[in-house]
Structure 1
Amino acid sequence: MYHALLDFGYKQYNQRMCGIGGYLGPASHSALMDTARTLASSLHHRGPDANDVFIDAADGNNPGLALAHTRLSILDLSELGAQPMSSADQHFTISYNGELYNYLELRQELIDAGRQFVSESDTEVVLQALIHWGEAALSRFNGMFALALWDANERTLTLARDRFGIKPLYYTYNDERLVFASEIQSLLSVDALDRRLSLQGFYEYLYFGNALGSETLFRDCSKLPAGSVLTLSPGQPPELRTFWNPEQQALETHTEQEAVANIRQHLSNSVKRHLVSDVPVGLFLSGGLDSSTLCALASEHYEGQLATYSVDFSGSSAHSELDVAREVAKCFGTEHHELNVTYDNLESLLDKMTTAHSQPFGDAANIPLYLLTEQLPDSVKVVLQGDGGDEIFGGYKRYRLLEHARLCQLICSLPLMRRELPLPTSVLRRGHRMLKALGSASDAERCARLLTEEPGDNAVMELISEPLRGKLMGHDPFRRYQEVVSTLPDKVRNDPQQLMLWTDTRILLPDHFLEKVDRSTMANSVEVRVPFLDTELTDYVMSLPAKLKLQGSSKNLLRKAMADQLPDSVLHGPKYGFGVPYVEWLRGPLAAYAKERLFADNSLMAELFDQKALQRLWDDHMSGSADRGFMIYKLLMFALWAERFNVTLE
């Protein structure tokens, strides 16, 4: 076995975030070392304060292993926390990306059980916990993580990802070898992928702007699903198991008063845990309910003056919440900063986002998040953000609309509703789409259609070239929703609101929002923590019935839990998100650039899409007769990705 500290010429502490990668398969020692070095180099922007590799060479018929790690030192800045980290007897070695917020409690449990420690790092706690409790340790972890554990005696590799998928992990496998990494571009860097398009991932992307579940848009690349474990043992195919899903939660009865008091305590504990760090921690403050809640509670627990950051989108027509953010910052005495973000050089920005995701990503909200973290001071390594609040507390309008799902099904069964209606305004078209989604025949289809802006199946399929339509019809863009809904108990499936809440935690959070957060921020070497997804908090809130969360107003329980601390402008103000004017861009500064990419000759776009239908889509949007901006933006990002990574159909 071999450890090597690598020096790629980076200035100490200039790069941040953590990344892991590895190879298991037949290879010489030198080939393993080359692979590990390449993987570490490809992950340098996720760190490091240090770069290290671990090699366990092939022995007879046993495969060889290479582990690579790039390190951001948040806890225990000494070399005792360096990775990959091996047990004292060299039996187990771990490469781990993440933060464990209950590591001190688990460490004490393990000490009481006779385990010995040589560092103060949470990595050693994770390693010792997995040795002591086995796979059951994963359910004990309160934090975010993606990890690889090597059992040298059994020649077995185990990969695992946290329950909500906050930290990413991708892999590719054939009969000879498995390669994994925090990012797809790392797999490409060691020529582990053949760059063919996944039709299943592509079909999902056209509806949702991203692939779902284990799918990616590369045919031979899989994403380890949130809350899952993958084990590869000699002579066996990979075994994929789930260690957590929301259906393990038992719905409990609480009075509103009990729930509000418990939520307040769990929130306070969560924020306190998420502030543990040996480096400064900041907070993204939008002025909305979620970030303002974090600001209020973090200000109570943070040692020193909390630094908060808001964004000013100059030149954007989107609504600004700067005034509310200023009010909240003043209320809690934070060191407040307003970062000015401009959308200059859009073409370069889109190229950066394509590289950061290594896949097309259809949500333009990743752009302001990237620009925001780009402007943070170098001293800020860790930032708190409010993701997860909407999904666990019920913050979206669709949750309240689902109260009428059964009525909508009856309305949609009428012959008139089965026809495509020529509706004159975008508001009517959106209302018609939402009504049909709410009235979908199956639970899974209803959940899926509420999460896509596409007006119907014809609007998607008519864009596809004739030779490809038959192949695509063999796939189901809603397959992941079918998989998730089928695992849920009848009492949840019979409650459309509860079903949507739990489904969003399995699909929308890991596959969309948390992917957006990780890629957009890690590209600028910033670690984002999400206190709303704390294990103890989510265990409690997800056990509460949907009606208790949604009665009176969205996020009813969260608003009441924070009623004595937050200003009325936050508690009763409207909900806004990052308003990215991509629709305006496509009719203005991006128009020529987008048209050139969409209609390029001899490209994958020409092979996949019907050119006449694509032209109609473009003309309708440019003339203003229809708003097809979201589809055009998705197609533009797909075209940039296919060109950037030389993707082929076959």
Structure 2
Amino acid sequence: MLLETLVFTGLQNCKRLNYLELQKQLLELGYMFETNSDTEVLLKSYQAFGLDFLDKIDGMFAFALVDFTKNKLYLVRDRLGIKPLYYHVNTSSITFASEIKALIKSGAVSAEIDPFGLCDYIHIQLYTQNHTLFKGVKSIRPGAFLSVDLANYTIVEHVYWDLPQEEAKLDYDEAILNLRERIFEAVKLWCRADVPISAYVSGGLDSSSVATIAKQFLNKKVQANLHTFSSIFPEARFQDERPYSDAVAKHIGSEHHRVILPKEEIIKAHDDLLYVLDMPIAGYSAPYRIMSKIVRQHTRVVLTGHGGDELFCGYPKYIAAVLSKEISDSISGSNRVVNSSNIKYLVGFERQARQILGKSVFGDEKQIIKSLFFRTEELWQYVNPEFRSAVGDYSVSDSLLNMCSNRTTGYLKKLLYLDAKVLLPGLLHVEDRTSMIENLESRTPLLDRKVVEFAGQVPEAFLLRDGLKGMIRKAMEPVLPRMVSANPSKSGTMYPATELFDKELADLIHKDFMLLDKTGLFIKPVHEILSESQELINKRVTWAIWSLGAWIRAFKIF
């Protein structure tokens, strides 16, 4: 009966991790199952609960559901945007896929630049709302689904989930205990697999916490030990964090792999990197693909620490931005008191704090948001007027501001909300694309629904009580090595990409710059733009522009 009225199309990479619990609930309601697949559980959950079933499924997913009794198509994306879902619609059809290149291959859309997506990318190297860099292609937003009337292809967007705003009534010690319990429950759930799993261990709080807990919940039928991986960049200019990752591996007794990423493979990855990514987004991503390739030689599933920074205040920019807001409010005549207690946590991050404060300290909220998100906005003045006029009065800063303007939380939580809606989906996009191209499933336990919703309910005053990401630090102290839990200044290990820009990758960059010059996307040659303004001479801008050129090359745009 079910399959006579419903057709389910599962998009690749769906993982509904609590399907066993749902299956048990459905069995108690009298539903019978012919398979053990999560797809059948999802179909019968819809039959039992209607669209309310979305409140019952957890995990990472993007799927389509057709209900012929209602002549409706539903396109659903998970709450945090871990898995992507894109669509193109016209008056007679709708086309959807988990990769934009599939839409292009289908012939439904052609590879052309979307002016709004271009405006987003030029300013923040990310995308707001449902924008993409391809004209006619939209992204379904995290925590939302589309209802499509198949009679006339009209679309209505529904938001089925958002971060909670009301703060829970609990003291700090209770919050720490609750957080620890939720993280343990999440990692246990996300370890559920019938194949061996592994974990990244950078030596920081997030990945170390996930790996430490995961070691306790392995499926002993398929693996005796946990494989852990850390990347090593001998030429990196940042702190050597091998002692921290080694300490975690020794602490949990994992089978640890120190991975020195081969430079020649990093270079080769750029041949089709932008085709793999679908569109330029976020920062330098080639090393992630090579790391995924190496991990896949050992396991099919890897756990990551994504989400901890964006949920629990892990970036020093938050302290600088809140300080800027307090100073600006105080100067404007409000009774706001400037709280200096968190300034001590900016030690080691003074340069970033100066940049944010220098751009925003006497401005309004829009200026603060621009200081946090804008990266290469000066480039917009060099974009072809045809694209600039096409966006009319559209403003990236207004788009960002509008996303959090109706939130009733304090200012710090508004900033965290913005990162959860804009920055985090960008980072997850890179992780998804660079892992799945190597047939590696990347899982993010800290983005479990229960952890995320608890982060939204935590009193804002708790978030920085013990410094950056202090709540996770406090919650995980009992299970982590002391040198890891007590390390307040992990800056992240980054591949020294800029050296490749000037040497091994110089010829490829030059060729893509020449290609950009031929397209007329910019009103001046790229090298002239880069040399014209001191503000623009930095490797981040080089990467941003080069990514556009490599994207145009990959998709044969223009």
What TM-score, normalized to structure 2?
A: 0.89
Deviation at 1:466, TM superposition (A): 5.3
Moved more, 154-163 or 432-441: 432-441
Residue of structure 2 aligned with 1:312, choices 201, 216, 232: 232
Cα deviation code 1:342-399 (max 9, x no counterpart): 22265532232211111123410x2211111111244511110000011111111122
Deviation at 1:287, TM superposition (A): 0.9
Residue of structure 2 aligned with 1:529, choices 428, 437, 443: 443
- The equivalent residue for 1:244 is 161
**Conserved 8 A contact 1:100-1:143:** yes
- The equivalent residue for 1:443 is 365
**Conserved 8 A contact 2:7-2:67:** yes
Q: Within 5 A, what are the aligned runs for 1:339-378?
A: 339-344=259-264, 348-364=268-284, 366-378=285-297
- Going from structure 1 to structure 2, the CA distance change for 1:616 and 1:355 (only over 3 Å counts) comes to closer
What CA distance in whole angstroms lies between the structure 2 residues aligned with 1:433 and 1:369?
28
- What is the CA RMSD across the aligned residues, in angstroms? 2.6
Tell me which amino acid in the other structure corresponds to 2:263.
Y
Whether 1:104 and 2:20 are equivalent positions in the alignment is yes
**Conserved 8 A contact 2:320-2:353:** no
- The equivalent residue for 1:76 is none
Q: Within 5 A, what are the aligned runs for 1:225-624?
A: 225-233=141-149, 234-246=151-163, 248-302=164-218, 303=220, 304-344=224-264, 348-364=268-284, 366-409=285-328, 433-439=355-361, 441-443=363-365, 446-454=368-376, 457=377, 459-465=378-384, 468-471=387-390, 474-489=393-408, 492=409, 495-510=410-425, 512-573=426-487, 574-600=489-515, 603-604=518-519, 607-611=520-524, 614-618=527-531
**SS of equivalent to 1:165:** coil
Moved more, 156-165 or 338-347: 338-347
- Give the percent of matched residue pairs that are identical in Structure 1 and Structure 2: 26
Deviation at 1:473, TM superposition (A): 5.5
What CA distance in whole angstroms lies between the structure 1 residues aligned with 2:243 and 2:491?
13
- The equivalent residue for 2:71 is 155
**Conserved 8 A contact 1:249-1:539:** no
Unaligned runs of 5+ in 1: 1-85, 414-426
What CA distance in whole angstroms lies between the structure 2 residues aligned with 1:432 and 1:306?
42
What CA distance in whole angstroms lies between the structure 2 residues aligned with 1:204 and 1:154?
37
Cα deviation code 1:244-303 (max 9, x no counterpart): 111x44212321110111111111111110111111111011111101111221122223
- Going from structure 1 to structure 2, the CA distance change for 1:306 and 1:600 (only over 3 Å counts) comes to closer
- The equivalent residue for 1:12 is none
What CA distance in whole angstroms lies between the structure 1 residues aligned with 2:323 and 2:455?
23
Tell me which amino acid in the other structure corresponds to 1:406.
K
Moved more, 573-582 or 325-334: 573-582
Tell me which amino acid in the other structure corresponds to 1:500.
L
What CA distance in whole angstroms lies between the structure 1 residues aligned with 2:14 and 2:105?
23
Deviation at 1:614, TM superposition (A): 4.6
**SS of equivalent to 1:308:** strand
Residue of structure 2 aligned with 1:634, choices 544, 548, 558: 544
What CA distance in whole angstroms lies between the structure 2 residues aligned with 1:463 and 1:393?
38
- The equivalent residue for 1:8 is none
- Going from structure 1 to structure 2, the CA distance change for 1:214 and 1:467 (only over 3 Å counts) comes to closer
Greater relative contact order, per chain length (Cα 8 Å cut-off, separation 6+): 2
What CA distance in whole angstroms lies between the structure 1 residues aligned with 2:254 and 2:354?
45
**SS of equivalent to 2:272:** helix
- Going from structure 1 to structure 2, the CA distance change for 1:145 and 1:479 (only over 3 Å counts) comes to farther
What CA distance in whole angstroms lies between the structure 2 residues aligned with 1:340 and 1:231?
47
What CA distance in whole angstroms lies between the structure 2 residues aligned with 1:581 and 1:373?
18
**SS of equivalent to 1:391:** helix
Tell me which amino acid in the other structure corresponds to 1:333.
G
What CA distance in whole angstroms lies between the structure 2 residues aligned with 1:317 and 1:127?
51
- Going from structure 1 to structure 2, the CA distance change for 1:344 and 1:408 (only over 3 Å counts) comes to farther
**Conserved 8 A contact 1:282-1:380:** yes
Deviation at 1:236, TM superposition (A): 4.7
- The equivalent residue for 2:132 is 216
**SS of equivalent to 1:637:** helix
What CA distance in whole angstroms lies between the structure 2 residues aligned with 1:191 and 1:372?
33
**Conserved 8 A contact 2:233-2:496:** no
Whether 1:91 and 2:6 are equivalent positions in the alignment is yes
- Going from structure 1 to structure 2, the CA distance change for 1:220 and 1:616 (only over 3 Å counts) comes to closer
**Conserved 8 A contact 2:321-2:357:** no
What CA distance in whole angstroms lies between the structure 1 residues aligned with 2:181 and 2:352?
40
**SS of equivalent to 1:599:** helix
- Going from structure 1 to structure 2, the CA distance change for 1:468 and 1:299 (only over 3 Å counts) comes to closer
**Conserved 8 A contact 2:513-2:549:** yes
Cα deviation code 1:554-587 (max 9, x no counterpart): 1111111111221222112222224132333333
What TM-score, normalized to structure 1?
A: 0.77
- Going from structure 1 to structure 2, the CA distance change for 1:543 and 1:98 (only over 3 Å counts) comes to same
**SS of equivalent to 1:150:** strand
Deviation at 1:104, TM superposition (A): 1.7
What CA distance in whole angstroms lies between the structure 2 residues aligned with 1:406 and 1:362?
26
Tell me which amino acid in the other structure corresponds to 2:132.
T
Deviation at 1:432, TM superposition (A): 5.2
- Going from structure 1 to structure 2, the CA distance change for 1:109 and 1:468 (only over 3 Å counts) comes to closer
- Going from structure 1 to structure 2, the CA distance change for 1:307 and 1:468 (only over 3 Å counts) comes to closer
**SS of equivalent to 1:176:** coil
Q: How many residues align?
A: 536
Tell me which amino acid in the other structure corresponds to 2:373.
L
- Going from structure 1 to structure 2, the CA distance change for 1:449 and 1:601 (only over 3 Å counts) comes to closer
**Conserved 8 A contact 1:313-1:342:** no
Moved more, 129-138 or 281-290: 129-138
What CA distance in whole angstroms lies between the structure 2 residues aligned with 1:287 and 1:601?
40
**Conserved 8 A contact 1:368-1:578:** no
- The equivalent residue for 1:424 is none
**SS of equivalent to 2:61:** strand
What CA distance in whole angstroms lies between the structure 1 residues aligned with 2:538 and 2:331?
24
Deviation at 1:91, TM superposition (A): 3.1
Tell me which amino acid in the other structure corresponds to 1:392.
L
What CA distance in whole angstroms lies between the structure 1 residues aligned with 2:494 and 2:236?
8
What CA distance in whole angstroms lies between the structure 1 residues aligned with 2:29 and 2:246?
49
Deviation at 1:335, TM superposition (A): 1.1
Deviation at 1:629, TM superposition (A): 1.3
